Amino acid sequence: MSTDLMPNRFTPGEASIPPRESELIARRDSVLGASYRLQYRRPVHFVRGEGMWLYDPDERRYLDFYNNVPSLGHCNPEINAAMAEQASRISANTRYLEPRLVDYAERLVATFPQELNRVVFTCTGSESNDLALRIARLASGSEGVIVSSHAYHGTSAATSMVSPNLGYAVTLSHAVRMVSLPGPAGISESQAADFFEAQVRAAIADLNRRGIGVATLLIDSIFSSDGVWVDPPGFIAGGVKAVREAGGLLIADEVQPGFGRTGTHMWGFGRHEVVPDLVTLGKPMGNGFPIGGVVGRKAPMDRFGATARYSNTFGGNTVGIAAADAVLTILHRDRIPEHALAMSERLRVGLEHLAKLHPGIRGIRNAGLFFGIDIGLDGTGEASRRAMALDIVNLMRDDGVLISTTGANEDTLKVRPPLICQAEHVDRFLEAMECALKEAVAQV
């Protein structure tokens, strides 16, 4: 669940900003909390969206290759119609009998392995991870949480304490242990599984020695905040086995890779051929309407439900269920995952071609339509690579294409367009990427 609450690295004063936007920035600063951030050196101001495009007040359009929230496109008319129709009848919660809630729950769990057959609805991915942690800790009888070294899993008190991505100002829980990933550590793919398992077993040993025990291994199966380190498929299996042997559960955070983004699987954990104990859902579930959920095995869900109450006034509300139901219908009917896979292959070929023609691309990783593109010239340090990546992001913004960065050093471009993108959108992205790459290299 990579954060969209990014550090204030794109300071508004770094570039010329039109008076209209300057005034709006000043008004924001005078009333909004200081934790809010703006993206890009020249912040974008949008008034409407349609499909792959966002439009500013002057009707200039921007190609969105960053926003995975409206996974089926901005203002999808079919999803909007479903929400409007439900809102015109009633917006209620899960304490009342509602056939559509049950219908959707049945359809949703049918997309998972048969072991995962219970669901609880929330509003956000942060809430989903917060609830999953509670369930795992109750079911295991332990507190320890193992996460990747630059993970992000939410903004609540509990989830921020297991999210090293939020920075040193946010205190991690004493019950958290971080593990390195094979890719960033420079481990070969042939040794990746052994390396990851060894990291997890060392974390387990330390938690046990300190009397904390292991509740869960909590992973984003695409490791998006760590820099999109997706390969080799299956490298997490030994670590999962070790956690279960120690009495812990596997929580798969599917807010980023879920709902068909990888192209080959509906859920990102499928690439690793493991079946989690709990799966957390968020952002793309309602195409931007706030709805999330926890899907899990019956045993831990029953144990939690027997001893603790969880009732969320808006989690599972009828308008959210209508949006989520429409999303699931479109995903299946229009074969969206297969389409995403085809577009990802076109994008990868294009990026590999750019890497041969121009310096500056150090690596390309992806699972379906989620790409991490490492930026930097040979022989340059971390600061230079980070600056170059940020330059590319801002040059592409000025050219009307939106992306961002990720990874511990923020020198990896994060590219995750809505799943409905077409060949012409991929080609437009590659055109803008090539122009920005050339200019950024020339400035080094």
192 vs 9, residue with greater confidence: 192
Task: Quote the radius of gyration of the chain (alpha carbons, Å).
Answer: 22
User: What is residue 95's predicted lDDT score, i.e. its pLDDT?
Assistant: 87
User: What is residue 13's predicted lDDT score, i.e. its pLDDT?
Assistant: 43
- Same structural domain, 184 and 304: yes
Banded model confidence at residue 186, pLDDT cuts 50, 70, 90: very high
Banded model confidence at residue 15, pLDDT cuts 50, 70, 90: low
Q: What DSSP line would sit under 48-60, residue for residue?
A: EEEBTEEE-TT--
Asked whether residue 4 is assigned to any structural domain, the reply reads: no
The 8-class DSSP code of residue 71 comes to: T
pTM, rounded to two decimals: 0.93
Work out the average pLDDT over 198-216.
Answer: 98
Which CATH number characterizes residue 164's domain?
3.40.640.10
| Whether the Cβ atoms of residue 175 and residue 145 lie closer than 8 Å to each other | yes
Spatial separation of the C-alpha atoms in residues 250 and 33, rounded to whole Å: 36
pLDDT at 8 over 70: no
Asked whether residue 2 is assigned to any structural domain, the reply reads: no
Work out the average pLDDT over 84-110.
Answer: 94
pLDDT at 7 over 70: no
Query: Which of 252, 254, 250, 263 lies closest to 285, judged by CA?
Result: 254
| Each residue's pLDDT tens digit, 269-299 | 999 999 999 999 999 999 999 999 999 999 9
Boundary-marking domain end, from 302, 333, 364: 333
| Whether the Cβ atoms of residue 104 and residue 331 lie closer than 8 Å to each other | no
Domain hosting residue 430, numbered range: 12-75+335-443
| Whether the Cβ atoms of residue 322 and residue 103 lie closer than 8 Å to each other | no
| Whether the Cβ atoms of residue 5 and residue 154 lie closer than 8 Å to each other | no
- Same structural domain, 93 and 142: yes
| Each residue's pLDDT tens digit, 291-346 | 999 999 999 999 999 998 888 889 999 999 999 999 999 999 999 999 999 999 99
- Same structural domain, 394 and 306: no
| Whether the Cβ atoms of residue 133 and residue 159 lie closer than 8 Å to each other | yes
Work out the average pLDDT over 391-408.
Answer: 96
- Same structural domain, 248 and 170: yes
Asked whether residue 394 is assigned to any structural domain, the reply reads: yes
- Same structural domain, 250 and 345: no
Boundary-marking domain end, from 293, 312, 333: 333
Asked whether residue 234 is assigned to any structural domain, the reply reads: yes
Boundary-marking domain end, from 333, 358, 382: 333
- Same structural domain, 386 and 412: yes
15 vs 200, residue with greater confidence: 200
User: What is residue 36's predicted lDDT score, i.e. its pLDDT?
Assistant: 87
The number of folded domains in the chain is 2
Q: Give the angle 140-234-415 at the CA atoms, nearest 5°.
A: 100
Work out the average pLDDT over 352-377.
Answer: 96
